[in-house]
A and B are shown apart, each in its own frame.
Chain A
Amino acid sequence: GAGVSQSPSNKVTEKGKDVELRCDPISGHTALYWYRQSLGQGLEFLIYFQGNSAPDKSGLPSDRFSAERTGGSVSTLTIQRTQQEDSAVYLCASSLTDRAYNEQFFGPGTRLTVL
């Protein structure tokens, strides 16, 4: 079946602009995660959603970052007033649930460049 998909694959924007990144998880997966991968920081957790529970936003670096998940499926990560330090690859992952151990399947990522 289809894996996790993300769009766009690449995004170049100017400092100060807002961007939206989209994630389509594997069908039937109730848990969805966003991570950021940058040269200086490696791969860092941002936020995760599980079913109808309140999301765990503990990894969001600032209030310019927000995410939503509509209908328990597609998720959008929004970065407002982008800064150059936001340049990174944004990875989405999904898993069947977040109970016990469930493999997280990653998408190919969105490469964001802020000029």
Chain B
Amino acid sequence: QKEVEQDPGPLSVPEGAIVSLNCTYSNSAFQYFMWYRQYSRKGPELLMYTYSSGNKEDGRFTAQVDKSSKYISLFIRDSQPSDSATYLCASMEYGNKLVFGAGTILRVKS
């Protein structure tokens, strides 16, 4: 079993929809939780990070972490075709190597 599990999709939604992306993890020592976005043939870029449990909002994006259930979520409001990409959740214990989920391919249709 991988330390971070993520459904690879693909997930296809119409423009304007609310998108929900989710991951689960097994390592209780994870403290930091990140969402990266990766466009085709590019490196991942950080969207949001959260320390421990809680919510964090940035524009159309909301990240949630529930450490009691080991569940990580990313919500995208008013999705746009430009949001079409692979979304990777990642976790780390402290300041070093990231452990990634498999990535979910998102397609937003105009």
Contact = CB atoms under 8 A, between A and B. Distances in A.
A65 interface: no
A51 interface: no
B95 A45 contact: no
A43 B49 contact: no
Given A42-B103, A43-B88, A44-B100, A106 B44 contact: yes
Contacts of A109: 42-43
Contacts of B36: 106
Nearest to A59: B97
B43 A43 contact: no
Given A56-B97, A59-B97, A98-B95, A103 B46 contact: yes
Interface in B27-62: 32, 36, 41-46, 49, 51
Interface residues of A, number: 28
A100 interface: yes
Nearest to A33: B97
A21 interface: no
Contacts of B95: 97-102
A91 B100 CA distance: 13
Contacts of A106: 36, 43-45
Contacts of B43: 4, 91, 93, 106-109
A100 B94 contact: yes
Contacts of A108: 41-43
Nearest to A40: B102
A7 interface: no
Given A56-B96, A59-B97, A108-B42, A103 B49 contact: yes
Contact of B44 (A31, A43, A58): A43
- With a 10 A CB-CB cut-off, give which of A4, A43, A56 has the most chain B CB atoms: A43
